[in-house]
Structure 1
Amino acid sequence: MSAPLLEVKDLTMHFPIKARGIITRTVGHVKAVDGVSFTIGAGEALGLVGESGSGKSTTGRLITRLYQPTSGQILFEGTDIAKSSARELKPIRRDIQMIFQDPYTSLNPRHTVGEIISAPLEIHNLVPKNARLRRVQELLEIVGLNPEHYNRYPHEFSGGQRQRIGIARALTMSPKLLVADEPVSALDVSIQAQIINLLKDLQKEMNIAFLFIAHDLAIVRHFCPQVAVMYLGKIVENAPREELYSNPKHAYTQSLLSAVPDMRQAVVGGRRERIRYTHDVEASAASTAANTAVASSRPSV
């Protein structure tokens, strides 16, 4: 059995909580990611699902090293990049790219589409300057846009078209892994299926691996053969999609699935019972309240 393309081991990210006074001091930490482990093989897709605040997007940013983890390992093709310097990361960034959630804010409005897509080529200096335009037009065509629109600005495109531009930018260096952070959640429902189908085609044609982050369980089921469920910074369940959707083991997964609209239930009438998962939320809230009370009772320095 070949080694996985990406192996994440006990990954953690703790953000400090600062108390301001005469001297700014750290009074605690938010455990955004708390001991996460998973693997992704070459050309495979892992779905990472959970509600807002579960740590999904932070995990994606750790994998792409937009954040430096507090601890843990990120093994990409056997090399641990968790503590790599910016210089050491430069060649790795060619192979790991990210598609951001909001196509409106992820593109520089002052730059043309051609400048946006060709920027990685310029940074890594892999394509001669006189060949960059041809590569940009090729990428625009691949994602379903008019190659002749390379000199237009982002505001001249619709939301779905902007996300296609973001995908084209991510494909510029022919990456081996794409981290897609809720790539369709900001788009109109009528456009979402088009973008998902585009990503599936790209995965098949280019053998790209995906970490697909989403809160929409229906989209993840359509795209990812393997699904991991994240809650309060931890992965509580990781299973093949058919097994997870038909027989979820963890109570939180059961709660998530019970909230998904069921068209068959709507046809026959009635309402499916909603499972509420509150135990750990209440425990976490109590712990946070206790920590806050302790912090506020300490005298200022």
Structure 2
Amino acid sequence: MSETILSVQGLEKHFPVTKGLFKSQVGAVKAVDGISFDVRKGETLGLVGESGCGKTTTGRLITRLIEPTGGKITFEGHDITHMKQGKLRPLRRDMQMIFQDPYSSLNPRHTVGAIVGAPFRIQGIETEQGTKKAVQDILELVGLNPEHYNRYPHEFSGGQRQRIGIARTLALKPKLIIADEPVSALDVSIQAQVVNLLEDLQNELDLTYVVIAHDLSVVRHISDRVAVMYLGKIVEVGERASLYSSPMHPYTNALLSAVPIPDPKQREGRERIRLTGDVPSPLNPPPACRFHTRCWKAQEICKTQEPPLAELAPGHAVACHFPENAPSTTETPATVA
């Protein structure tokens, strides 16, 4: 078992909703509402779910780009939940983020050299052969020409811009990278190239990833473990092979049934699960199990009692009163902290 590099316990982020001249709070959007998971060193954890389930907010909380409402974030033994920016800055060298949009995440007024070299300047790091040589080496590492140093972002394609963003992320040789939808804005052919690049970099630089995505095919290709989110909660987490072959939560089954299958013969024998109704508002989520308003297996207990995230198989936990594909056992399942 690899050591844990990141531990999240009961993490919450509630955005206040105000009204009136005096901005009195009338409610809160529960974007992330008490999630817990660990990330082991050297692995890739995939975080999946529908749009609006809180994936991106989770990534920004982990990197402390936004302040948590509650819970605890531990990175390499350091509690960074409410750490002040002065103390947090040195730790940011080891914890970086790849943003979703390769167009808006790069300053159009800065050259590639200035963009990728910014982390060296901000952290006050000097290299033996100078910043320019270090930046050119990083550009070559991500598949770009070192001669692109003096060019501007508008001169590159979407895939090349994302490579520039990855180069900026790698500048300080981080240990943990949060990749927020790193390929969703790219063409399918370019997506494969960027995913393969991320895998090669992980093997070469011993990186740890948390990949946030809604494309289950991409997550299956790149992840070691997968966590499924729904309306601010983690409803299932497990090893990739176990989760894709034997999904236990009804919501996970519905997501996997929507993944396109190119082979017509395999597609014929698969049942498509169509969820009824809209995703409830995080401003007023359903009580107990949040999925019960759209679940075909829901019973009275689902409306009154929230199911704990319990381990029903080795390394495979689910939050459901009536899980599917669960191994038959007489033992009481262990609740995941």
State the TM-score, normalizing by the size of structure 1. Answer: 0.90
Work out the CA distance in 2 between the residues paired with 1:285 and 1:15: 10
What SS class does the counterpart of residue 196 from structure 1 fall into? helix
Matched, 1:275 2:273: yes
Does residue 133 of structure 1 match 2:132? yes
SS at match of 2:17: strand
Matched, 1:176 2:185: no
Q: Do 1:14 and 1:31's aligned partners in 2 also have CA atoms closer than 8 Å?
A: yes
Provide Cα deviations, 1:150-182, integer angstroms capped at 9, x if missing partner: 000000000000000000000000000000000
Structure 1 residues 197-252: Cα deviation after superposition (integer angstroms, max 9, x where no partner): 00000000101000000000000000001000000001000000111011100011
Cα distance in 2 for partners of 1:34, 1:268 equals 38
Q: State the alpha-carbon separation in 2 of the partners of residues 120 and 269 from structure 1.
A: 48
- State percent identity of aligned pairs: 61
Post-superposition shift, 1:263? Answer: 2.1
Greater shift after overlay, 270-279 or 80-89?
A: 270-279
Mapped to 1, the partners of 2:168 and 2:257 lie a distance apart of 37
Query: 1:135 and 1:190 mapped to 2: Cα distance?
Result: 29
Equivalence for 2:82: 83
Q: Which residue of 1 aligns with 2:218?
A: 219
Work out the CA distance in 2 between the residues paired with 1:208 and 1:130: 24
What do residues 49-108 of structure 1 show as CA deviations (whole Å, max 9, x unaligned)? 001001000000001100110011110001110100110110011000000000000000
Q: Partners in 2 of 1:286 and 1:66 — Cα distance? A: 22
1:62 corresponds to which residue?
Answer: 61
SS, match of residue 186 in structure 2? coil
Give the conservation status (yes or no) of the 8 Å contact 2:28–2:283.
no
C-alpha contact 2:11 2:71 (8 A) present in aligned 1 = yes
How many residues were matched structurally? 286
Report the alpha carbon displacement of residue 288 of structure 1 after superposing the two structures with TM: 6.2
Structure-2 residue corresponding to 1:159? 158
Partner of 1:7: 7
Looking at structure 1, the residues matched to 267 and 279 of structure 2 have their Cα atoms a distance apart, in angstroms, of 32
Q: Following the alignment from structure 2 to structure 1, what is the Cα–Cα distance between the partners of residues 253 and 16?
A: 32
Residue 254 of structure 1 corresponds to 253
Change over 3 Å in CA distance of 1:110–1:247 after alignment to 2:
same
The verdict on how the C-alpha distance between 1:227 and 1:2 changes in structure 2, with shifts beyond 3 A counting, is closer
Q: Is the 1:251–1:277 contact (alpha carbons within 8 Å) kept by the matching residues of 2?
A: no
Unaligned runs of 5+ in 2: 287-337
Alpha-carbon distance between aligned partners in 2 of 1:185 and 1:281, rounded to the nearest angstrom? 21
Match of 1:201 in 2: 200
* Equivalent in the alignment of 1:74: 73
Distance in 2 separating the partners of 1:29 and 1:286: 6
- How far apart, in 1, do the equivalents of 2:243 and 2:194 lie? 25
1:253/1:173 Cα in 2 relative to 1: closer, same or farther (>3 Å)? Answer: same
**Greater RCO between the two (CA within 8 Å, min separation 6)?**
1
Which amino acid is the alignment partner of residue 113 of structure 1? Answer: V
Tell me, in whole angstroms, the C-alpha distance in 1 between the residues paired with 2:179 and 2:196: 14
**Structure 1 residues 237 and 268: alpha-carbon distance in aligned structure 2, compared to 1, 3 A threshold:** closer
The one-letter amino acid of 1:184's match is V
Displacement after TM superposition at 1:276 (Å): 3.2
Shift in Å at residue 30 of structure 1? 0.6
TM-superposed CA distance for 1:269, in Å, is: 6.5
How far apart, CA to CA, are the structure 2 residues paired with 1:197 and 1:2?
23
Amino acid of the residue matched to residue 23 of structure 2?
T
* 2:71 counterpart letter in structure 1: G
Aligned to 2:25: 26
Runs of 4+ in 1 over 3 A off after TM superposition: 267-272, 276-282, 284-289
Are the aligned partners of 2:27 and 2:283 in contact in 1 as well (CA < 8 Å)?
Answer: no
1:115–1:261 distance in 2 versus 1, CA, 3 Å: same
Distance of aligned partners of 1:268 and 1:83 in 2 relative to their CA distance in 1, 3 Å threshold: closer
Separation of aligned partners in 1, 2:252 and 2:209: 21
Greater helix share, 1 or 2?
A: 1
Corresponding residue for residue 304 of structure 2: none
Amino acid of the structure 2 residue aligned with 1:158: S
Which stretch of the first structure deviates more once superposed, 123-132 or 223-232?
123-132
For the aligned residue pairs, the C-alpha RMSD in angstroms reads: 2.0
Aligned equivalent of 2:37: 38
8 Å CA contact retained: 2:3, 2:41: no
* Letter of the structure 2 residue corresponding to residue 18 of structure 1: T
* Deviation (angstroms), 1:262: 1.7
